[in-house]
Amino acid sequence: MAGMVKGPAIFLAQFAGDAPPFNTFDRMCKWAASLGYTGVQIPAWDGRLFDLAKAAGSKSYCDEIAGTAKSHGLAITELATHVIGQLVAVHPAYDEAFDAFAPKETHGKPKERQQWAVQQMLHAAKASQHLGLTAHPTFSGALAWPYVYPWPQRAPGLIETAFEELANRWKPILNAFDEAGVDVAYEIHPCEDLFDGTTFERFLDAVKGHKRCTINYDPSHFILQQLDYLEFIDIYHERISAFHVKDAEFNPTGRQGVYSGYASWIDRAGRFRSLGDGQADFSGIFSKMAQYGYSSWAVLEWECCLKHPEDGAREGAEFIKHHIIRVTDKAFDDFAGGAIDKKQIKRALGLR
């Protein structure tokens, strides 16, 4: 066993806002600590909480940020760059929508927007290093997603070319994170080209098994795809470096299934839910994490179409704390054993 899951922690992205206590990092830390959290994951794109460029260039600024968290009894678990990583690779069909994630001067300029995103990711590598972090959750972006369902038939070589290009864009970023000693933890997520185990393996092959190419495990996205999220841990545990604790439910009907008929979130067959309100087997998930020695953070990512976010955050701290397994340092049947006696062992085996 490598250790024990740390937590509970909370991803601040879905809670940050313009009104107190959600409008500054200090106030959000005080709020999170009051709920029982011991760690916070910072959305690196939210200027109300964090200055990414400044963090990349100033170790003292990072020390101040870490000091603010520590003053409330919190650790910084990771920086996250989901909406920035998304822009490393954008299919033209999504250009206008994803411009909203980038500075105005790059709007309508896909090449400039991508260059900006790459630079931000390089900043994130340095900032993570300054903060002494070991993992970095993000999105891969997507070039092939519009072709996920093969109708009309995909042109031969289309997927291979898309992943080759995706790998070429990420290799310099992965190398920068390697220099910083930080894993890039791709959240396996629909609408990204890395949306299941098969696509992760395809990308991993394309980056030649890069040691910093890892996974941010989030079971909610697997429930909505009807993928075996427990076996996923069995298969990929060596590549899991971050963990979003998020619940979901899938209730197909005679009218809709996985694709949910363009329905709103509240009317979809697959919905994200607050912890404990969905279908995820978190006892099984935390058991698998303990079994394989996952010793990093369990981070609440709250998304729910029904429950108020502050209730979800309050309940989530206790939920995660309850599920973290204190890993044993001895076998349960040690009491029945005795001192090692080699002669006795040989007699038991009928050896002389």
Q: Where are the domains of the chain?
A: 6-348
Contact assessment for residue 244 and residue 299, using Cβ atoms and an 8 Å cutoff: yes
State the maximum Cα–Cα separation within the chain, in Å, rounded to a whole number. Answer: 83
User: Half-sphere exposure of residue 218, counting CA atoms within 13 Å on the CB side?
Assistant: 28
Q: What is the pLDDT of residue 293?
A: 96
- C-alpha 107/C-alpha 119 separation (Å) is 16
Q: What is the pLDDT of residue 277?
A: 98
Q: Report cis status (omega within 30 of 0) of the bond before 146.
A: no
Q: What is the pLDDT of residue 1?
A: 46
Could you tell me which CATH class the domain 6-348 is placed in? alpha beta
- C-alpha 77/C-alpha 131 separation (Å) is 10
Contact assessment for residue 190 and residue 224, using Cβ atoms and an 8 Å cutoff: yes
Please provide the distance, in angstroms rounded to a whole number, between the alpha carbons at the two ends of the chain.
36
CA-based nearest residue to 177, from 217, 228, 221, 214: 214
Written as six digits, the tokens of 245 are 């604790």
pTM of the full structure: 0.94
Strands 247-250 and 270-273: antiparallel
Q: What is the pLDDT of residue 342?
A: 87
Mean pLDDT, consecutive 10-residue stretches, the chain (352 aa), reads 86 97 98 98 98 98 98 98 98 97 98 98 98 98 96 96 98 98 98 98 98 98 98 98 98 96 96 98 98 97 97 98 89 64 87 82
- C-alpha 249/C-alpha 251 separation (Å) is 6
Q: What is the pLDDT of residue 219?
A: 98
Query: What are the residues whose beta carbons fall under 8 Å from the beta carbon of 269, sequence distance 6 or more?
Result: 250, 251, 252, 253, 256, 257, 258, 260, 263
Query: What are the residues whose beta carbons fall under 8 Å from the beta carbon of 322, sequence distance 6 or more?
Result: none
CA-based nearest residue to 159, from 198, 133, 187: 198
Residue with tokens 């409008």: 23
